[in-house]
Amino acid sequence: MVNYRSILVTGGTGSFGKKFVETILTRFPHIERLVVYSRDELKQFQMAQQFPEKQFGQLRYFIGDVRDKDRLLRALEKIDVVIHAAALKQVPACEYNPFEAIKTNVIGAQNVIEAALDRGVKRVIALSTDKAAAPINLYGASKLCSDKLFVAANNFRGDRDLKLAVVRYGNVMGSRGSVIPFFLERRGTGVLPITDPAMTRFNISLQEGVDMVLWTLRNSQGGEIFVPKIPSYRITDVAQAIGPECEQPIVGIRPGEKIHEEMITASDSLNTIDLGSYYAILPSAGAHTVESYCAAHGGEPVPLGFAYNSGTNPDFLTVEQLRGLIAEHVSPPSSSLA
């Protein structure tokens, strides 16, 4: 991080953006400019109350949309690093408003790439989702397309000092619209609706997601899709951890929803490397082969046919572990999970 003086975060007022900003302000006081780029003036105002200008003079707030390339070009002047977290991510909303999702998640991604190329940005890290692996809904398909755009951009960067990479992880504990805040809100009703009792999800905290992005900034060679090794949970165990006394009616899965999350498919195994705490999916056509990447940067090729799925993951959280993590990362101190 000592090589970077300025960072811009698209979607900077979201759950990830706020945690990322908090982490940068705490760990890297040498950063001279930290730009929050988002559409919502109210959320920017609220964020400015949390991080006052007098105390954090390096913070800047830009009203803007990733759909607006001209505004991105203005915002990216003298920016070293872009963290691209802006997206339309609610599955039902994307299914109902498909082209709106494409305009933000696909065209917006290309706008970020082209603005980064034109403004001399050094690093771009794009956030992806498990739903981009073997997608069955428009959100996942649009994010897969976005991933492909960021990976392929490494092929036409020319002689620029620019590397672009993607981080892909599963359910973020406590993020807006996710199941744990929903269950906490509904616990008082005595009913926690279960989509399917077999449903599983990967689990990662916001801080772990931020730490993964920072790790990627230090270690990416450009073109990788990085996937973390994280535990899974059963949706019924989450309900038990939050409201053991609550009824759990089965309501059925929503359109475009999977029973289990996937982050690496068997088809990806040909280009996937085990790096210890993370996997790296290399582009099928690029400067690095699996062999040359392992020789230069370490790691081991995964077995042929390897897949990474929340249902077959060997690491599952128990009800007690879930209760502890929820109390630590999501539930307010006054709210008891006992």
What are the residue ranges spanned by the domains of the chain?
A: 6-170+203-230+262-309
Q: 253: closest CA among 330, 337, 194, 327?
A: 194
Q: 75: closest CA among 37, 110, 127?
A: 37
Q: What's the chain's average pLDDT?
A: 94
Residue with tokens 């001399």: 120
pLDDT at 331: 66
Mean pLDDT of 10-16: 95
pLDDT at 175: 78
Is residue 18 annotated as a catalytic residue, yes or no?
Answer: no
pLDDT tens figures, 161-180:
999 999 999 888 877 778 89
pLDDT at 110 over 70: yes
Mean pLDDT of 121-125: 98
Q: How far is CA 266 from the centre of its chain?
A: 22
pLDDT at 337: 55
pLDDT tens figures, 76-89:
999 999 999 999 99
Q: 20: closest CA among 88, 76, 83?
A: 83
Distances (CA, A) of 311 to 227, 232, 235, 270: 16, 8, 11, 21
pLDDT at 338: 45
Q: How confident is the model at residue 332 (pLDDT cuts 50, 70, 90)?
A: low
- Rounded distance, CA 317 to CA 171, Å? 14
**Residue of 18, 19, 89, 131 marked catalytic:** 131
pLDDT tens figures, 185-207:
999 999 999 999 999 999 999 99
pLDDT at 235: 96
pLDDT tens figures, 132-156:
999 999 999 999 999 999 999 999 9
The C-alpha angle 113, 14, 72, rounded to 5 degrees, equals 30
- C-beta separation of 14 from 38 below 8 A: yes
Pick the CATH number of 6-170+203-230+262-309 from 3.50.50.60, 3.10.200.10, 3.40.1260.10, 3.40.50.720: 3.40.50.720
- Rounded distance, CA 33 to CA 21, Å? 11
Element (H, E) at 274: strand 272-274
Which ranges constitute the DSSP H helices of the chain?
15-27, 41-50, 69-75, 91-96, 98-102, 108-119, 138-152, 179-186, 206-219, 235-242, 290-297, 319-329
Which tokens in the block code for residue 188? 């008082």
pLDDT tens figures, 242-290:
999 999 999 998 877 899 999 999 999 999 999 999 999 999 877 678 9
Q: How far is CA 66 from the centre of its chain?
A: 16
Q: What is the pTM of this model?
A: 0.93
Residues of the chain with pLDDT > 90, as a percent, come to 87
Residue with tokens 């959320």: 43
Q: How confident is the model at residue 333 (pLDDT cuts 50, 70, 90)?
A: very low
- C-beta separation of 252 from 194 below 8 A: no
